[in-house]
């Protein structure tokens, strides 16, 4: 079992080459492989499949079986039972919208890294006390955006963040310019309307543009 420092290093390695994390809500299982291929063709190979739809766990398992070269994380994980389920499905990491003691313990004791969601310094300190140093900032823009990330850099010098929520192509560069931003997450790279319309080439173009901005 990996220690939390080892899990921190693993998370850093996952985003060393591309600091983008598209959030994908799967409405049709048939979309999973062409969507992943479209993103991969654009240079984005680390994906977050959320549990916002009932197909999330099936989509993770399918990608692990059919696209083993991609790194697949699980998002919108709300409790320890979901953590266990996505870990069993083959997720490489877990992302949560907030942090609870139950989830922080699951991430500490689990086999894969957890990126706990925080929106305040107090929430950050809850995870920090247990040894967490990488966090999802959600909802980033509402919580304070780039200004909050800059403020966190003072008291939490070894913490880094993946801002999600309100991140767009227009403000992507401002987030990525912050030295304590490990990655940036969002759905603008693969908007639901493009997925629904199966406009895979357009998604590839958006992925390429995001990679170029990074």
Of 6, 27, 48, 198, the catalytic one is: 48
Of 102, 105, 136, 208, the catalytic one is: 136
Phi, psi dihedral angles at 93 (to 5 degrees): -160, 165
The answer to whether residue 101 is catalytic is no
How does strand 114-115 pair with strand 117-118? unpaired
The answer to whether residue 48 is catalytic is yes
% helix, strand, coil for the chain, step of 5: 45, 15, 35
Going from the C-alpha of 96 to that of each of 88, 126, 177, the distances in angstroms are 17, 14, 24
181 secondary structure, DSSP code:
B
**Rounded (5°) CA angle 205-75-36:** 30
Neighbours of 202 (CB within 10 A): 15
b (16+ CB within 10 A) / e for 9-33: eebeebbeebbbbbbbbbeeeebbe
Which residues are tagged catalytic? 48, 136
């Amino acid at each position: 079992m990996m220690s939390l420092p080892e899990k921190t290093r693993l998370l850093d390695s996952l985003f060393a080459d591309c600091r983008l994390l598209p959030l994908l809500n799967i409405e049709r299982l048939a979309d999973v492989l062409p969507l992943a291929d479209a993103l991969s063709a654009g240079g984005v190979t680390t994906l977050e499949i959320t549990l916002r739809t009932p197909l999330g766990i099936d989509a993770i398992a399918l990608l692990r079986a059919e696209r083993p070269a991609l790194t697949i994380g699980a998002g919108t994980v709300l409790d320890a039972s979901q953590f266990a389920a996505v870990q069993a499905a083959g997720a490489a990491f877990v992302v949560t919208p907030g942090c609870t003691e139950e989830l922080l313990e699951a991430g500490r004791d689990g086999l894969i890294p957890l990126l706990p969601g925080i929106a305040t310094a107090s929430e950050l300190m809850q995870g920090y006390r247990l040894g967490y140093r990488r966090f999802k900032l959600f909802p980033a823009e509402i919580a304070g955006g780039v200004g909050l990330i800059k403020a966190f850099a003072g008291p939490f010098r070894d913490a880094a963040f993946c801002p999600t929520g309100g991140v767009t192509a227009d403000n992507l560069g401002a987030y990525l310019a912050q030295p304590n931003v490990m990655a940036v997450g969002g759905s603008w790279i693969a908007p639901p309307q493009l997925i629904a319309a199966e406009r895979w080439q357009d998604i590839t173009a958006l992925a390429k543009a995001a990679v170029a901005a990074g």
